[in-house]
Chain A
């Protein structure tokens, strides 16, 4: 996203920019005003949306949703302010703003929804917004591929999750989260618990990019930097974490929950930290550290103890603050120097002191160095991991230790190395960024420091209520910077030591990792391509199998299926012969004659190979049918049938003037197979008609029409009253079909006339 597009002159993005900044800013202040109420307990508001399906548009305001809402709107304000300058002169900036606001609304809906179905709808809104934003730079094939990959992966996960939601809704008897969350014991004991859990986790893991679904997130860095900062680190990817935290009272606390979440979360955290070391593009490094954070959060929500939840909620806020700041920072560096390569950037401190300050604050928080709030988050995570029993404690502690040490290194790579030493040559000379871009990272960095110094505020207003919401019960939360000399502090010091050692040799580690990666046969990204290729190959195979392109074969399959399925049902039910007893004695000679004419006419159409004879024979059949309508008291139908028959003959004869002759009859033209299918369909139809006619007749509808026709609809011709009054909507649909068929045929025929002239 450099300067290779035609610039449009806008001041701070023009009206689109101002609106996009004002919208989250106002909402942020609104939520901030609500915060004191929420501290005292959750609130639910709502209106019915689709009452027949139990879908309500209801809002659950508790500590968890409030924390997310404040992050979404607060970081949203920083990001929109930043984008107004970063992209404000892009020709398609207004479109970008639309996508961003759409995402914001979707994400807010997702975290505030109290109804599972509403939550799903908003979940998908964020997926779509993410697709549009990753693919914003649509000229690039890479962007388009990344966008599609993210859409397919998170979209599939979302659909799977919908299945889980529907099952859960049926088990609980409601889709209202505020009620479901109180039924935890019942749900955990339910035989479908495992299924619900796995389906939900499929959604959460794809959205929050847990291994093995992680690869879309680094690819999503094809999006403009503000988007990466906002969606793909601070908010959207936390949707999965949010879901797990939200469902914890209902689904959490079982062994399955513990092991699935801690194992996948742990692997994701460590794998991502190692991969972060491997990258040279700082934006990619940051993407992998985001993965690490998501893994840690998943792991601690899975661990589920009080300290684990407090640690997770603290870390959630901490991470959003420092990661958004770092992404915005690297955007400024990219903007100013034209590169994001960690091996190139050096000595920016003198040219970009403010950027450096923001980066420094954020990176200190990321590395978990006191007095930053990141230190508090890490302390609590250590405390939590040590408090777990048995193998879980070892696993979680080792994982979090490794991830934290690697975070320390990454913090150095991202924020220390580019600013230290002699200024290196960059594609464009380094210079300080403008204030709208600096404001966000500086404020976020300052907040990391502020919360570190005054942890009580964070604990009272955000982490405490959020922990309450996740645990489903009230525990006092007290955050502190200095907890005395204990195991957690010792682990922290060890982390710093390990991190410092690793940082010193990180360049050789990176080289070794690169060499390993070159030999590593497991490539998730390429695997995804193979899955897609396989899918397409399967689709092509299936299409080739089913859609042969031969009308004749389609017809044969359709009609044979009819014979086999309907005829087979008859055989199984022993229903052949129903209605054979219907009296034939009363048949009048005229009726005999008409029926014989109809049968003869239709056979003649088959037999003849003269077009005109066929048309005439069809006329005979049609008129015979209309005579039957007359005989059995249907004057309206008979008139219609007669008139249509005339029109059919006229139209077909007209067309015959130009259409070719029918092929001459020959011995080869008789197809025995076709005759068998045809005879089968005929026989089955006859028996079907007979069995319909031999069942008792229910006249209720007819009686209604007969008695209501005159008193209610003021008409004496019941058929017409049905057509234009009782069933007028159907009739409206039908005349629409007639008009559309006429217009369609007109379009088809007009084309030929033009072709002929040319």
Chain B
């Protein structure tokens, strides 16, 4: 299906969706969003791109094989969980670092929980794209 209008707008839309997916991921801890939703949005963006252009084109744009992304995501999530062990706490206990925290506020929170959510994002994103690309390639 080659349509100039679709192809052009899709480039823009896919980029927007990807950006929005990262936004959804980052705000997830306090507002609706998170790794699952972010990953799904990001995958949808790429699928749109795939439909508008081709699976080969989408793979080129992604640069990395999606199955690798999924596995790396799993690895990141697992490491985030293991890192609690460094602090001598049980597996998957969240570790937090509050940068620039002032009285009452929490400043810029950095945490292994966020790292874990990034892992979830990558696993979902990579997993779904693996599936879709495989099916698309086949057909």
Contacts and interface: CB of A to CB of B under 8 A. Distances in A.
Q: Are chains A and B touching directly in their complex (CB below 8 angstroms)?
A: yes
Interface of A: 635-636, 639-640, 643-644, 646-647, 650-651, 654-655, 657-658, 713-717, 719-721, 723-725, 728-729, 731-732, 735-736, 738-739, 741-743, 745-746, 749-750, 752-753
Interface string B127-139: 1101110111111
Contacts of A644: 40
B113 A724 contact: yes
A546 to B, nearest CB: 33
A736 B78 CA distance: 10
A636 B29 contact: no
Contacts of A752: 138
A716 B73 CA distance: 24
B120 A724 contact: yes
A724 B31 contact: no
Contacts of B51: 650
Contact of A654 (B33, B35, B41, B139): B139
Contacts of B131: 651, 741-742, 745-746
Contacts of B128: 647, 738, 742
Contacts of B136: 654
A655 B136 CA distance: 8
A721 B33 CA distance: 11
Contacts of B137: 749, 753
A198 B39 CA distance: 61
A428 B67 CA distance: 65
Contacts of A657: 139
Contacts of A741: 127, 131
B132 to A, nearest CB: 7
Most buried by B among A640, A715, A739: A739
> Do most interface residues of chain B lie in helix, strand or loop, or is the interface mixed?
helix
Interface stretch (B5-13, B56-64, B90-98): B90-98
A22 to B, nearest CB: 39
19 contacts: A635-B32, A636-B36, A639-B32, A639-B33, A640-B40, A643-B37, A655-B139, A717-B30, A719-B32, A720-B28, A720-B33, A724-B35, A728-B116, A735-B120, A738-B123, A739-B74, A739-B126, A742-B127, A743-B71
B79 to A, nearest CB: 11
Given A720-B34, A724-B29, A647 B44 contact: yes
Nearest to B122: A735
Contacts of A654: 132, 135-136, 139
Contacts of B94: 713-714, 725, 728
Nearest to A738: B127
A636 B126 contact: no
Given A647-B44, A647-B132, 19 more contacts: A658-B138, A714-B29, A715-B29, A715-B113, A720-B29, A723-B35, A723-B36, A724-B28, A724-B34, A732-B78, A732-B116, A735-B73, A739-B71, A739-B73, A739-B74, A739-B127, A745-B135, A749-B134, A750-B134
